[in-house]
Amino acid sequence: MNKIEALQRINELRAQLHTHNHNYYVLSQPTINDFEFDMMMNDLIALENKFPEYADENSPSQRVGSDINLEFKQVTHEYPMLSLGNTYSEEDVRDFETRISKLTEEKIEYVCELKYDGTSISLKYKNGKLAQALTRGDGVQGDDVTANVKTIKAIPLSLQGEGYPGEFEIRGEIMMPFEVFNQLNVEREEQDESPFANPRNAASGSLKMQNSSVVAKRQLDCYLYYLLGKQLPGKNHYENLELAKSWGFKISDDSKLCQSIDEVLDYIKYWDKQREELPVPIDGIVIKVNSLDQQDELGYTAKSPRWAISYKFKAERVATRLNSVTYQVGRTGSITPVANLDAVQLAGTVVKRASLHNADIIENLDLHLNDSVFVEKGGEIIPKIVGVDVEQRDSNAEKIEFIENCPECGTELIRIEGEANHYCPNSLLCPPQITGRIEHFIGRKAMDIDGLGEETIELLYQQSLVKNISDLYKLKKEDLLPLDRMGEKSADRILGSIKESLDVPFEKVLFALGIRHVGQTVAKKLAKSLGSIQALKAASLEELVEVDEIGDKIAKSIILFFEDEAQNEIVNELIAHGLQFELNQEELDKQTNKLEGLSIVISGSFKSHSRDELKALIEQHGGKNTSSISKKTDLFLAGEKVGPSKLAKVEKFEIKTISEEEFIARLQ
């Protein structure tokens, strides 16, 4: 066989094996038996070995995996992998409809999907070939597990059909079917290994194994449910899923397009009863707005899309005994009571502790020591006590009273009016607050200082090398090298990352300070509105509340922070070390007051800019984005397909309407 004949035969075998894989693992309709499949695969592998110049990383032969150990590198997601807000009742679902109805005037279609209980994956395809597979990670970046994902036969390495974009991402859930999970645990027990607690843990653990040939033997499955890209073929979510199915992706046939929230609720009720019949685990239902234009209009919060929620099925409940209550101190001084329980099996895991959240929860439950308590998993993740079997209580049982002093430093606790939590006010000397603030400060979404884990921070604190966040910038190599498991490379990595953090922009530095109630989104708003830390310090309560999305609670927290002399001293030290405490000149140059004082509503789809880009331009030029039309609206920025009821309001309130072109011209 010459090279031309070999290449022709290799391409034929690859095409046939891709088709047979799809028929078996996606359609569940095999057209050949296992022996015939194996013979074709053996022929392909033999030809690829004989003609290595025709190697292809997406060949079906690559699904067997490799014995080479991998070190997963972390890659930033092109589109952040956000989490979904959870709901647990019909009332919650109807509240979701009410919220989104206020933000869009058009009729809303919903897509309901099974919420698979596995590990999230994001697959990138280029020119019809699998290019990369990333885990969710922290939502901003994840581990590159491409080699392991290629062993999952439900995931196409090469797409079939036509009409797919040149580059796009598709996201889904990798799972371990119950049958495979049960057999795996039998094998582990036979080998005196600990069994996996549930299929989710087994799937996650398998995907992160260093040896892809072992992953291949785990028989993982994958359902895909979300298409992303700059040029998607369909104008709604359901249509794109149907197209993805034609390209060879495993898309659930149990998804449903619903015209009303009542249809959504019927779907939820049906699967709450039928879920036990499925071959893979689910823990709820995902509800999405179907129209991509409406998704764009509804937008996102910092953590989740406004156009989608998950409904979690009622959690399993078990009874166990309450042995004691201990108290944890968070980085902001918040005190969280924790129930210590007799170990009990719950939703596939062993539970020994449960959060009690705050003093009111303890009081409302009327908890006593040695009570028989009912435990559920909130969202099947965090265990919580939901009730007490009072009939089994001993008459002499001691009532649990919330503590009055910090369990770590002994300081008397305070409770701010209107808040549920108690706090330790000793922010500068209470150990867990100090280490917690340092951990927050170095986090990826804050200063992104690499190489410092919880253990290292604890060691630095115990040895008095770091007593607050500003001390990080005083560290020297000779301080780090004596630490346990610290080598030269690790020390250089930490010091290099600390130096690089001097370039982190003001909005992230502000978030990193850990001011109570100032999250990522709030920090960004404050930075853009006020421009510098000095302006923020000098701002009055009234001036802070005028900033978009800043209310009394946040404003008071900021003022309290800067009234603390010790916190001011730390900030001044950070300024002296060279951190960015004001917008850089380039950002300042972009800002103008051309839209100052104007309240602007955006609606419709636009040709040259995304809705997020237009919102950013409004903020950059001093305007304020608002979601609904009222008498206070100054401008209506209208694209295509604006809802008739929204236009009626614009006309009623005589609001000036401008096009995308007019808006851009106004800024120029």
CATH of the domain at 649: 3.40.50.10190
Q: Residue 368 — very low, low, confident or very high, per pLDDT cuts 50/70/90?
A: very high
567 is in which domain, residue-wise? Answer: 506-589
Residue 559 CB burial class (10 angstroms; 0-12, 13-18, ≥19): middle
Report H helices in 446-564: 454-462, 477-480, 488-500, 506-512, 520-530, 533-538, 541-545, 552-563
Percent of the chain at pLDDT exceeding 90: 48
Residue type at position 342: D
Q: Which of 73, 102, 107, 115 is catalytic?
A: 115
- Answer yes or no: are the C-beta atoms of 468 and 568 closer than 8 Å: no
Record the pTM: 0.57
Query: Same domain for 269 and 143?
Result: yes
pLDDT over 60 (residue 380): no
413 in any annotated domain: no
Asked if residue 233 and residue 377 are part of one domain, the reply reads no
Query: In the predicted model, is pLDDT for residue 68 greater than 60?
Result: no
Q: Which two tokens stand for residue 308?
A: 């989608």
Q: Which two tokens stand for residue 85?
A: 């807000």
The count of residues in the chain is: 668
What span, in angstroms and rounded, lies between the C-alpha atoms of 663 and 600? 11
Q: 379 vs 101, which has greater pLDDT?
A: 101
In the predicted model, is pLDDT for residue 32 greater than 90?
no
Active site residue 115: yes
pLDDT band at 64 (very low <50, low <70, confident <90, very high): low
Could you give the CA distance from residue 610 to residue 423 in angstroms, rounded to a whole number? 43
* One domain for residues 662 and 632: yes
The pLDDT of residue 536 is: 95
Q: Is the pLDDT of residue 12 over 60?
A: yes
Provide the pLDDT for residue 69. Answer: 44
Per-residue confidence (pLDDT) for residue 190, from 0 to 100? 73
Q: 470-484, 486-500, 586-600: which has the minimum mean pLDDT?
A: 586-600
In the chain, count H helices and then E strands: 25, 20
Which tops the pLDDT comparison, 563 or 549?
A: 563
C-beta of residue 531 within 8 angstroms of C-beta of residue 549: no
pLDDT (mean) for 393-420: 92
- Which has more confidence, 182 or 195? 182
- How confident is the model over 262-287, as pLDDT tens digits? 999 999 999 988 887 888 888 899 99
79 inside domain: no
Summary mean pLDDT of the chain: 88
> 579-636: per-residue pLDDT in tens?
999 987 676 667 778 888 888 888 887 888 887 788 888 888 888 877 778 888 899 9
Query: 528 versus 171: which is more confidently predicted?
Result: 171
pLDDT tops 50 at residue 310: yes
- Give residues with Cβ within 8 angstroms of 587, minimum separation 6: 505
Last residue of a domain, one of 503, 520, 548: 503
Q: Copy the structure tokens of residue 218.
A: 């785990």
pLDDT tier at 65, thresholds 50, 70, 90: low
Q: What is the mean pLDDT of residues 564-580?
A: 94
In a domain, 77, yes or no: no
The amino acid occupying position 429 is: L
CATH code, domain with 437: 1.10.150.20
pLDDT attached to residue 26: 64
User: Is the model's pLDDT at 347 over the cut of 90?
Assistant: no
Q: Of 377, 392, 407, at which residue does a domain stop? A: 392
Does 196 lie in the same domain as 282?
Answer: yes
Does residue 209 sit in the same domain as residue 119?
A: yes
Determine the pLDDT at residue 48: 84
Res 534 pLDDT > 90: yes
Per-residue pLDDT for 510 more than 70?
yes
